Amino acid sequence: MKSKIIFLIFFFIGITSNAQVSGVGINKDNPQQTLHLGSQTGTIRVDGLNSTNNSFNGGGVDKTYPLYVDHNGDLTLKVSAYQNSDGSDAYTTAAVNGTVSITTAQLPNDGYETVEITSYTFTVARNTTLEIKYSLSVEVFQDNLLTIVKDPYARNITNFFTLNTPTLTSTTRRYAPSSKCYFNRNDIATNPAAAPDAATGYIYNSGTTYMYLTPGTHTVRFYGTVCSGSANRNTFVRFAGGPDSIFIRLY
């Protein structure tokens, strides 16, 4: 009887050890992972992720949706973002540095000005990819009284991100740059047939970028610039006056 008990103990130890080393194989006699699917054509179906049971599955024949893993290791269709305006206004002019201007009196007379609109700081413990998508409203005037531009000079308005790393205080690379050129030749003195005003409203700069972050603390800065050519021309640019959007996610 004692010998049978010893035999059974060694038998179960052998099974347990084999399961720990080999894992579980489906159509696979020698599994190489904890769960190993051996079929070359087989797929995995999880009823909790289908369109009937999961509100994040949009359904539709032959349509697919991204699958993510949360901090618990659970599979999910839900997108988790650091920041997602998701239909609401991401920025307001009062909440960010929403204006930049050029005046003929300021120095240097290079026709260029820049402003840091806002910034984001991330501390990561591992190598991480940062995704940013934005859409920012822009309005162009001659001055802060919102006088319509009527001179014969174009203005270029650009938005972009820069990245500060743990080893560098700043970088010169511009991520997700987007530009628009504003021009309104509507000077009655030189063109009497022209109407005394012009259409106003929002134009948009939009961009997408991916940044590689190493372990440590990083600061991402969002800038706006205006250029009126080689010399200063009176210009006032207002950012974030309209509906804006931002989406930020860490991978």
Q: Which helix (H) or strand (E) holds 17?
A: helix 2-22
For residues 244 and 91, the answer to whether their CB atoms sit within 8 Å is: yes
Q: Of all residues in the chain, what percent are helix, strand and coil, respectively (each to 5)? A: 10, 40, 55
- Tell me the pLDDT band of 166, cut-offs 50, 70 and 90: low
Q: Which two tokens stand for residue 56?
A: 């994040």
Q: What is the 8-class DSSP label of residue 99?
A: E
Three-state DSSP class for residue 172? coil
Q: What is the pTM of this model?
A: 0.76
Q: CB within 8 A of 91, min separation 6: which ones?
A: 98, 117, 118, 136, 239, 240, 244, 246
> Does 208 or 73 have the greater pLDDT score?
208
pLDDT for residue 2: 53
For residues 245 and 90, the answer to whether their CB atoms sit within 8 Å is: yes
- Tell me the pLDDT band of 32, cut-offs 50, 70 and 90: confident
Q: Which two tokens stand for residue 168?
A: 């560098």
- Tell me the pLDDT band of 10, cut-offs 50, 70 and 90: very low
What architecture does CATH give domain 83-250? Sandwich (2.60)
CA distance 139 to 241: 7
Residue type present at position 142: Q
Tell me the average pLDDT across 53-66: 88
Residues of the chain within CATH 2.60.120 domain(s) are 83-250
